[in-house]
Amino acid sequence: MSFAKNILAVLLLSSIVGCASGPPRGVRAPYSEAQTQKVVIIQVEASSHFGLTDSQRDALEWNAHTEIASWLVNKGVEVVSLDHSTRYLRSLEESQDFLDAMPEDSLRHTFEPDQSVTKEVEYLRKAGSPFGDVPLLFVELAYYTEGDCREKAAGEHVVTRNVGPSKTCLVTHLRAKLVDPLNAQTMWENHVLMERYSDIDPKARAKNLEDTVHFLFTGKHGLLSLLEEPRESSR
């Protein structure tokens, strides 16, 4: 496995059913007044192939990474992407220790205060991040399929798009967490499952991924409040 692949921490497939009962979504209270101008994207490797070949899954994860990086850059955020972080880590002797300490369980319950201290939390608290105080944005492809959608899309995290009379659909489920590297606490978390009823072709795949990323970062649970310039208090 190449070094670039090693940066993808292996996570277990998150369950789609019952996601609404997971950790709180949106900006966490201690960071409601924070401002983020730069992030390091760490894309986590899905534990399932979702019926895809290695190359197909790798391409899907890379496309998700690229779409997320593009969205953030368009919002004025400086992004340390996978390519840059890989080259930087390669130059550090302690890089493998950092990678080995990254999550090996579902991102859903990682960096949560009600969980026991895990290796990734312990590492960040003791050794810190190779990227200093720059927040770490972990991104997980939790689920993906091309086929039949569920008859009823339950849960506020599900967004459905109907494009024509097609009975087939694309399902993309993304989860992301922004982590404060200084104390290993979650600053923001959200997840979105997008169902798109349409014929399955490259254009539909790209559009579904674009929409998933859009809803991941916008809305009442989105990241926009951390990206805006602080407002001056009225006098």
Give the residue extent of every domain in the chain.
Answer: 7-14+37-221
The CATH number that domain 7-14+37-221 falls under is 3.40.50.10610
Does residue 156 have a pLDDT over 80? no
Return d(Cα 54, Cα 181) in angstroms, integer.
31
- The phi and psi torsions of 121 (rounded to 5 degrees) equal -70, -45
Q: Around Cβ 134, how many Cβ atoms within 10 Å?
A: 16
Percent of the chain at pLDDT > 70 equals 72
More confident residue, 147 or 74: 74
> 189, 177 in Cβ contact below 8 A?
yes
pLDDT at residue 147 greater than cutoff 60? yes
Is residue 135 within 8 Å of residue 180, measured between CB atoms?
yes
